Amino acid sequence: MSSSVDVHQIQTVSAADALAWHQVVAASMTHDLPGVPAPDPGQIHAQLTRPALGSHRLTWLATGADGTPAGVAGLRVFTSPGQEHLAELDLHVDPAHRRLGAGSLLLSAVVEACRTENRRSLVATAAADGPGEAFSERWGFRRALTLDHLLLRLVGSDETDRSDLLRIADAEHPGYRLTGWTGTVPDTLAAAFAAAKNAMNDMPVGDLDYGSVAWDADRVRAMAAVVADRGDTLLTVAAVHDDGTMAGYTEILIPQGAAPRVQQYDTAVVPEHRGHGLGLWVKAAMVRRLRAEYPGVIEIETDNADDNVHMLAVNHRLGFRSYRRTREFQLDVSAT
């Protein structure tokens, strides 16, 4: 096979570009992450053409001598106050085209773009002990955080005990009530939800220089709009105190097409309301809601920093089981 690789930046993502991107990502994930479902072509197209909240995206495609897609790189450039130093990399190389320079050429283009965008920190995720980790370390990325990925089976022989979950979800928490919504938070709860969102800023992030974000009602509405615009569904269950404060919440993302595996988004309990079992309560109530409203959902995937002892304990109590690990890496762009 020829070692000739061409890398070009995609200015406007076409349907053909999205299909090429999907081809590379599916091959890469099948090889490196067996058992982890790859996004379908529609999800890839939405990811590439619908900007994430508080950022803009740059994309590159590497092709072989015959024009075959060999690798892809996406760069999310954060623009929110508190994260203007940061960019996040998503890089995949088709296993059939590895060790021919595609990954290095893509990363060189990304690093140069980070300098142009005046971003000092580039973060990337790779499967623990996999080829992506070795590649990152060769390029001078430092290991900043290890994440434990867990699955909760909702149906099948190893599903979590229904009666136990119902007991947790139905437990009384004097002074608190449960509420929930789909998509955008109701206006009456928007300010309280934004205040609770800020509790995520003390989430354990190891040595990762991820910055922090200040949430307000407009930002939580904008986040929900971004999710809806790409065809996904966002579910939220929250615990509200008698004084109107939102004490805690949990979010689940259902990918477009009602995929059998859904993703945990944020779960947080406001510091002054911790110690009352609210995190366990809202997550159990979310599982009950999923079973009632989305019977086609089979699994929930979540991840926690390996030093987030409290949330790991909550998830294990609910029946989540560890099944893989990833690592977050960070590159000091100014030092390269």
Give per-residue pLDDT as tens, 116-135.
Answer: 999 999 999 999 999 999 99
Residue 142 tokens, joined:
């430092």
Beta carbons within 10 angstroms of residue 236's beta carbon:
24
Look up residue 73 and give its two tokens: 């790189």
Q: Write down all domains in the chain, each with its CATH number in brackets.
A: 5-119 (3.40.630.30), 150-325 (3.40.630.30)
Q: List, for the chain, all residue ranges whose pLDDT scores fall below the cut of 70.
A: 1-3, 156-161, 204, 258
Look at residue 258 in the predicted model and tell me its pLDDT: 66
User: pLDDT tens digit string along 143-192?
Assistant: 999 999 999 998 865 666 677 888 899 999 999 999 999 999 999 999 99
Residues forming beta bridges with residue 99, ordered by sequence position: none
In the chain, % helix, strand, coil (3-state, to 5) comes to 35, 30, 30
- Rounded Cα gap, residues 304 and 323, in angstroms: 12
Residue 158 pLDDT: 60
- d(CA 123, CA 329) in angstroms, rounded, equals 6
CA angle 260, 186, 232 (to 5 degrees): 25
Q: What stretches of 42-188 adopt beta strand conformation (E)? A: 55-64, 69-78, 86-93, 121-127, 142-153, 176-182
User: Which residues pair with residue 62 across a beta bridge?
Assistant: 7, 71
**Entry pTM:** 0.90
How far is CA 18 from its chain centroid? 20
* β partners of residue 121: 86, 332
Give the model's pLDDT for residue 178: 98
202, two tokens: 């003390």
**Distant-in-sequence, close-in-space partners of 101: CB < 8 Å, separation ≥ 6:** 3, 5
| pLDDT at residue 175, rounded to an integer | 97
Q: How far is CA 74 from CA 92, 98, 111, 172, 196, in A?
A: 9, 18, 12, 46, 31
Of the candidates 239, 264, 237, the residue with the CA atom closest to the CA atom of residue 252: 264
Phi, psi of 177 (to 5 degrees): -135, 155
Half-sphere exposure of 143 (CA within 13 A, CB side): 14
| Amino acid (1-letter code) at residue 78 | F
User: Which DSSP letter does residue 277 get?
Assistant: S
Measured CA to CA, the distance from residue 314 to residue 98 in angstroms comes to 40
Task: Please say whether the beta carbons of 47 and 18 come within 8 A.
Answer: no
Q: Name, in order, each residue with C-beta under 8 angstroms of 162's C-beta and a sequence gap of 6 or more.
A: 291
